Amino acid sequence: MIQVIDLWKSFGDNHVLKGVNLTVPTGQTYVVLGGSGSGKTVLMKHVIGLLKPDRGRVIVEGVEISALTGKALTEARQQFGMVFQGAALFDSMNVFDNVAFPLRERHRGERIKSDEVRTRVVEKLKVVDLGEEVLGRWPAELSGGMRKRVALARALVSDPQVVLYDEPTTGLDPITTNYVDEMILHAKERLGITSMVISHDIASAFRVADRLAVLYDGHLAAEGTPAEVRDSKDPFVQRFLSTWFEKQ
C-alpha cells in the first residue's frame, strides 16, 4: 500500500502540491493524470524519496519514506521497481545484463549464483511475454514496445511489491501503447503488485487504472474509480477528460 498524506511542496513562489492525499491499496493500479507542469513528477519523486515534503508524509508498505535519509532511504528504495519515461535501458548492456542489473546491485558484495540470476531474468522476461531469444540482444535492436517490456522485466526482477511507472506510454504509437497497457495489467494480475502510474494519456489511464486521480492546481481535482472520475462535476476535470472522450 502507498499512502500520501497531506503533501505540500513549493519551489520558491511556485506552490506545486497543496495538500495531496491518496491511497493506493495493495495489488491495485493507481493512475495520476494531469497536464504538463501539474506536478505529477514532483509527486512521484516524493513517493520514491527523491524530494522531501514541506509538509505531509509518504508511507510505502508501512515505511515512512518521507522521513528516511542516506542508507536507510537507499535500502527502502530498493523495494520499488521503477519504469522510467523512455524506458532508459543501458545501451552498452545486452538485455540479459540490463534485466540482471538491479539483482547484481542489490546483492553487491554477496554471492549470488549466476544460474539463479539467469533463472530470475528469464522468469521476469516471461511475465512480459519475452522469450530467451532476446537475452543477447542490444537495446538498439529492439522496438520501442520491446524496450518498455525489458524495462518492466528489469523493474520486476527483484520481486518488488510496488512498481512506479513514469509516463509509460508517452511518445508511443497506439498499438505499442496498447501493448504497454496490457503489460501493466498482466504484471498486476500475475504478480499481484501495487502500482502507481503518472501519465497524461487519458485513454491508457482508463484502461489500466483501478483508481485514478486528476492533479490540478496542487490538488486532486477528482479521485476514485474510473467511472467516478469520469462522472466528476469538477469543471477542470470535465474539460480535461473531454479532450479525449469527445473524440470517441
Ligand X SMILES: Nc1ncnc2c1ncn2[C@@H]1O[C@H](COP(=O)(O)OP(=O)(O)OP(=O)(O)O)[C@@H](O)[C@H]1O
Q: Which of 20, 34, 121, 229 binds ligand X (CB under 6 A)?
A: 34
SS (H, E, C) 45-81: HHHCCCCCCCEEEEEECCEEHHHCCHHHHHHHHCCEE
Helix spans in the chain (H):
40-47, 70-77, 95-106, 114-127, 144-156, 174-191, 202-208, 226-230, 235-245
Candidate segments 35-43, 176-184, 185-193, 228-236, binder of ligand X by CB under 6 A: 35-43
209: its cell numbers: 487504472
By CB under 6 A, is residue 41 in contact with ligand X? yes
Candidate segments 29-37, 123-131, 155-163, 178-186, binder of ligand X by CB under 6 A: 29-37
Cα of first residue to Cα of last residue in the chain, in angstroms, is 34
Q: Which is nearer to ligand X, 14 or 143 (CB)?
A: 14
Output DSSP code: residue 211: E
223: its cell numbers: 479521485
CA–CA separation, 73 vs 142, rounded Å?
33
Task: Provide the mask over 185-224, with x wherever binding to ligand X is found by CB under 6 A and - wherever it is not.
Answer: ---------------x------------------------
By CB under 6 A, is residue 39 in contact with ligand X? yes
Q: Which of 3, 28, 38, 204 binds ligand X (CB under 6 A)?
A: 38
Task: Provide the mask over 71-90, with x wherever binding to ligand X is found by CB under 6 A and - wherever it is not.
Answer: --------------------
Q: Which is nearer to ligand X, 39 or 168 (CB)?
A: 39
- The residues binding ligand X (CB under 6 A) are 11, 14, 16, 34, 36-42, 200
